[in-house]
Structure formats: C-alpha cells, structure tokens
Amino acid sequence: MSSEVTVRWLGTNAWEITSDGTTVLVDPYVSRTYTGATVPGQFNPDTPITVDETAIEAYIGTADSILVTHAHFDHIADVPAVAAKTGATVLGTETHLNLLRAMGTPDAQLSQVGGGELYQFEGYTVEVFRSSHGVSGKHKSLLFPGTRPGPVPARPEAIKDLVEGGSLAYLVTFGEVSLFFNGLPSFHEREVAGVRPTVLFMQGPNPNYPDYVPRMLAATRHPPYIVPTHWDDYEAPLEEPAVDHFGAAALGELVAEASPESEWVLLDHLESHTFSA
C-alpha cells in the first residue's frame, strides 16, 4: 500500500498534516502575538493572551485531531479557537487539557494522554511519547514551569499563566509514512530508541544537550527525511519569509554531518511538502 502525506508549516511548531481527506494539526498557533520573546531583554510574561481570529480563519481549515506538545502560549494559546472551529479531538496531558477547559474547550473533545499510548484514528495512528521541555542557562531553567492537575484552574489571562504542564512527542502514521514530532531537544533517548519515522521534525541544537543532533538521529535510526521546526521568529508575520532565529542553518549542517543519507527538507512559512512511501 502506498501512502502520500502532505505537511504544511504554519510557523513556530505548528504543522498541518493531511492525507486522503484527513487532517492532523500539531501545536496550531498562528496568532503570533508580540511578547518580545525573540528580542533580548524585551520578553514580557504579563503579555495578555490574544487570539488572532483572522489568522485562524485564514490558515486553519478542517482538522480531525490536534496534538499538543506542551502548554506554552506559542503552542496552545490558539487551540481553544481551533478546537471550536474544527471540532477536532485534542490530545494532551492533564495540565494541557485543564488549561484548555479553563479557556472554554468542551470536555467531550479532550483526550488525556501521558506517553505510551498508541491510538487508532480513522486513516492514521498516533503514538504518544513522554518528552521534556528544553531548558536554558547554566541553572537549566524552564520557562513558566508548573502543572495544573485536579480542578480546572482560573482562566489563563497572561502568557505566564500557560505553564508548560509536561511535554510530549508524537508519532503520526498514515499507512507507510510516519512522522515523528519531537520539537524539543530534551527527548527521552531510551524511549525513542528504535523508532524509525519516515520524517523527523526537530529543533536546532541547544548547548544544554550534549550531542543532541547525532544522538537524536542515531536513536531514530537516521530517518530518510529531516524537517527543522520551531526555528523562526514566531512573532514576525507568517506571510513573510521565516527568519532563522533558532539555529535551522546550524541544525542543517549537523544533520548533513551525522546523517548524510537523510534528506534535509527546509520549509518556509506556509510552504508544503508531500512525502510518499
């Protein structure tokens, strides 16, 4: 059986995956609210959460499922609007889902996962992996750490209210084509070992993770295609070419070195690529 899967980059770690009339979205975030996050010294954690309905109208069509990797604003802030528009099933941790409940997403659409699940959907499967968010600085600091288990918390108002809430990676498989979304440098090597996706989505190198790129490529047995993700200035307009803010070029060089047989597929904002097997 041959399969064709088309991916389209919506900036940040936001991906639309379509195959045979089915659509899966990963971290659909298109509001690109200005927080100062990509300007040194300008980041404002009190920035109000705002949703750009026009962007959602323009860039989000239908969806069957939405996969949440973690609950930072640049991953989850638009999910309530996207879930409402599409009626899609949303996968995430208890904290991710509790934050979505607090922002008005109906319980009926929410599916709590923790890593280890393998689910059959109509036309594709989703396998969930535990992961960890990337850290920065010598004290290995995590942005907006925390969880919101138990009762539904107060509605998040500022971006700092969207705590990380655990991190997940996802293997999405349509027939012969599988795509591994591990947009975090802190992957769980021993759990990932042996997975061999057709397409691996990965982030640029981070000094806190020794040999991250060669280790990731070895753990996933040198996938045929590597796509860089979350490398743009995610506050700049999606209509403009992506600016390499988080080391896509550096990642490309390391991939070429560690995995010369893999094809490097660099997509710009709103560009698509079809993978077949």
Burial of 10 (0-12, 13-18, 19+ CB in 10 A): buried
8 Å CB contact between 235 and 42: no
Residue 15 CB, shortest distance to Zn ion, in Å, is 13
Q: Identify which range of 30-38, 73-81, 137-145, 213-221 contacts Zn ion by CB under 5 A.
A: 73-81
27 binds Zn ion (CB under 5 A): no
52 binds Zn ion (CB under 5 A): no
Neighbours of 82 (CB within 10 A): 23
Please give the biggest Cα pair distance in the chain. Answer: 52
Closest CB to Zn ion belongs to which residue?
A: 74
74 binds Zn ion (CB under 5 A): yes
CA 87 to chain CA centroid, Å, is 19
Residue 264 CB, shortest distance to Zn ion, in Å, is 22
Q: What is the CA radius of gyration of the chain?
A: 17
User: Considering beta carbons, is residue 101 or 133 the nearer one to Zn ion?
Assistant: 133
**Contacts with 57 (C-beta within 8 Å, 6 or more apart), sequence order:** none
User: Considering beta carbons, is residue 64 or 74 the nearer one to Zn ion?
Assistant: 74
Q: Are strands 167-174 and 15-19 parallel, antiparallel or unpaired?
A: unpaired
161 binds Zn ion (CB under 5 A): no
User: Considering beta carbons, is residue 38 or 111 the nearer one to Zn ion?
Assistant: 38
Residue 21 CB, shortest distance to Zn ion, in Å, is 29
Residue 209 CB, shortest distance to Zn ion, in Å, is 16
Q: Identify which range of 70-78, 97-105, 161-169, 263-271 contacts Zn ion by CB under 5 A.
A: 70-78
User: Considering beta carbons, is residue 74 or 235 the nearer one to Zn ion?
Assistant: 74
CA 35 to chain CA centroid, Å, is 19
Residue 75 CB, shortest distance to Zn ion, in Å, is 5
- Give the tokens for residue 57: 């109208």
Q: Identify which range of 3-11, 52-60, 68-76, 97-105 contacts Zn ion by CB under 5 A.
A: 68-76
Which helix (H) or strand (E) segment holds residue 96: the answer is helix 94-102
Place of tokens 């069957």: 64
Residues that bind Zn ion (CB under 5 A): 74
